[in-house]
Amino acid sequence: MNKIRSLTFITALTCASSTVLSADWSNTQLHVNHGDFKNPFSTNEASTTVYSLQHSSGYKYGDNFFFIDYIVDDLDDNYQDRDFYGEWYSNFSLSKIGGLDIKSRYIKDIGIVAGFNMAGDSKVMKYLPGLKVSWDVKGFSFLSTLFTAYIDDSEGLAQGGAPAQTDSWMIDIAWGYPFTIGNQKFEVTGHVEYIAERESETGSDVKGWLLAQPIIRWDLGHALEMPSNQLYLGVEWQYWRNKLGTDTNESVPQVHVAWTF
């Protein structure tokens, strides 16, 4: 990780720490997912476990969301053998900061987003400035849409990383929908993103991709008479068309466990 990335990461963590201390609400979870994933740059498939620390919080100016994945697979092919990947999004609410009356029948709020995506071994860095629309839809604990640029600041082949790319754009829809069956609690959550096509520094096309990661999970903590929302057990389905901009398509069910701190 070069100095710029280190500074970006340290700054983000510093902001996170100060925000958490003054948060109106916060939620931190450890997710463990396990499934068989494809290496899009070869014909290999590996049994993979992803350990993910996820955090969301709200404060007087908006909200934050980030996750850090630690990825381990059982195949030594220099692809996700033991690698880190993380994303961070800070949303600055226009209604909270500017005092604007944005709320309508379907829209809860609109915000300005500053985000980044960072990968370890591939030395990838993307910046994602844009807008977040929070929707007001009955039954959903949250429903939001991100519209962002997808600006590349990767180190590239010259520094031993993945090829640098031209800039692009992204749209992402995220949701949470709790429901009950009898006296048992469940939730459908996840996100769907589309990132448009771009070009690699090698001159090859990087295809636009569609990534969907819906999760259906059972509130096991509630069933065991623990606090609700503390322990979940479920299934996450990962559907990835044109995985990482290649011709590889993937459809993988995973065992999903989540623990709320």
Give the domain extent around 133.
25-260
pLDDT in tens, 212-253: 999 999 999 999 999 888 999 999 999 999 999 999 999 999
Which residues, 6+ apart, have CB-to-CB distance to 234 below 8 Å? 215, 216, 217, 218, 256, 258
- In this prediction the pTM is 0.89
Alpha helix (H) ranges present in the chain?
3-21, 94-98, 220-223
What CATH number is attached to the domain comprising 212?
A: 2.40.230.20
The answer on pLDDT for 57 being more than 70 is yes
User: How many structural domains comprise the chain?
Assistant: 1
In a domain, 168, yes or no: yes
Q: In the structure encoding, which two tokens stand for residue 119, read together?
A: 């990968």
Q: In the structure encoding, which two tokens stand for residue 58, read together?
A: 């709200």
In a domain, 19, yes or no: no
In a domain, 142, yes or no: yes
Q: How many other β-carbons are positioned within 10 Å of the β-carbon of residue 254?
A: 20
In a domain, 179, yes or no: yes
Spatial CA neighbour of 209 closest among 175, 236, 248: 248
In a domain, 20, yes or no: no
88 in Cβ contact with 124 (< 8 Å): no
pLDDT in tens, 93-104: 999 898 878 878
